[in-house]
């Protein structure tokens, strides 16, 4: 059974429940930039999923998961920038500390905050193609946040991690070898989403009383380090 909550005019984020898996999709028809409204909608969907679902999938659109925080909001002013970055950081922390299995369906590019999104999930499903995975912060003169650095060092192959933090971009196959992705699908975007849902369903079928505590214990050092940030 599938239940669907339609997109509203204010946000390109949609939510549906598919056989116990919550699927939260962002599709703005462009690069899926994370505006404050988009982040708020994803947080709302994730909170709802915690009450309804055994696992969660965050999915992008054909060609893009997300290009990260919306630069048009970042340059509006300090208030807008701080609000967006704080909300995004809280979303990432909520995902990283959730006992639920969280899978990302990445049918294209994942840059900057999009790459961080990959790192906080449990499993990441990408797509074969000429897509870029990684951080562009250095290229635009922005130092990498400490949380993103720590996540990269936690998850990404040590021989690749520093180069990635300093701006080297990876294609999906390279990203899978490095640890940004776990699975790369050679097919259309819907196949990526389907593979992510299948993986989420498999993870969600594992005993929750064992899965959640084990995952959070494995991540305890980072969770404790950033608990009060």
37-55 core/surface letters (b: 16 or more CB in 10 A; e: else): bbbbbbbebbebbeeebbb
What pLDDT shows up at residue 80? Answer: 84
CA–CA distances in Å: residue 2 to residues 7, 25, 184, 209:
16, 14, 26, 25
44-98 pLDDT, tens digit per residue, is 999 999 999 999 999 999 999 999 999 888 878 888 888 898 999 999 999 999 9
Selection from 56, 57, 83 nearest residue 70 by Cα: 83
Core vs surface per residue 162-185: b (16+ CB within 10 A) or e: eebbeeebbbbebbbebbbbbbbb
Q: Which helix (H) or strand (E) element contains residue 50?
A: helix 36-52
| 88-131 residue pLDDT tens | 999 999 999 999 999 999 999 999 999 999 999 999 999 999 99
Query: What is the C-alpha to C-alpha distance for residues 35 and 68, in angstroms, rounded to an integer?
Result: 9
Give the pLDDT score at 209. Answer: 98
In this structure, what CATH number is given to the domain that contains residue 124?
3.90.226.10
Tell me the mean pLDDT in the region 209-217. Answer: 98
In tens, the pLDDT along 167-207 reads 999 999 999 999 999 999 999 999 999 999 999 999 999 99
Give residue 69's domain range. Answer: 2-226
pLDDT band at 8; cut points 50, 70, 90: very low
Q: Domain total for the chain?
A: 1
Cα–Cα distance for residue pair 39/73, rounded to 1 Å:
12
List the one residue out of 61, 39, 53, 226 whose CA is nearest residue 145.
Answer: 226
pTM (two decimals)? 0.93
Residue 171 near residue 127, CB atoms below 8 Å: no
Phi and psi torsions of 41, nearest 5°: -70, -40
Answer yes or no: are the C-beta atoms of 34 and 113 closer than 8 Å.
Answer: yes
């Amino acid at each position: 059974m599938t239940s669907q909550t339609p997109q509203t005019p204010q946000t390109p984020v949609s939510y549906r429940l598919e056989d116990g898996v919550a699927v939260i999709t962002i599709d703005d028809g462009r690069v899926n930039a994370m505006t404050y409204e988009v982040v708020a909608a994803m947080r709302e969907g994730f909170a709802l999923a915690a009450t309804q679902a055994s696992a969660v999938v965050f999915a992008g659109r054909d060609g893009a998961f997300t290009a990260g925080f919306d630069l048009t909001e970042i340059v509006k002013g300090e208030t807008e920038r701080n609000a967006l970055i704080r909300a995004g950081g809280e979303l990432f922390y909520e995902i990283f500390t959730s006992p639920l299995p969280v899978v990302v369906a990445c049918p294209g590019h994942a840059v900057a905050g999009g790459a961080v999104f990959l790192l906080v999930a449990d499993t990441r499903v990408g797509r074969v193609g000429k897509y870029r995975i990684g951080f562009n912060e250095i290229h635009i003169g922005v130092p990498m946040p400490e949380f993103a650095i720590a996540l990269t060092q936690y998850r990404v192959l040590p021989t690749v991690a520093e180069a990635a933090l300093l701006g080297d971009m990876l294609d999906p196959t390279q990203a899978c070898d490095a640890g940004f992705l776990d699975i790369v699908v050679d097919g259309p975007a819907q196949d990526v989403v389907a593979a992510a849902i299948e993986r989420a369903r498999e993870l969600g079928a594992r005993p929750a009383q064992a899965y959640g505590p084990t995952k959070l214990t494995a991540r305890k050092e980072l969770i404790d380090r950033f608990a009060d940030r």
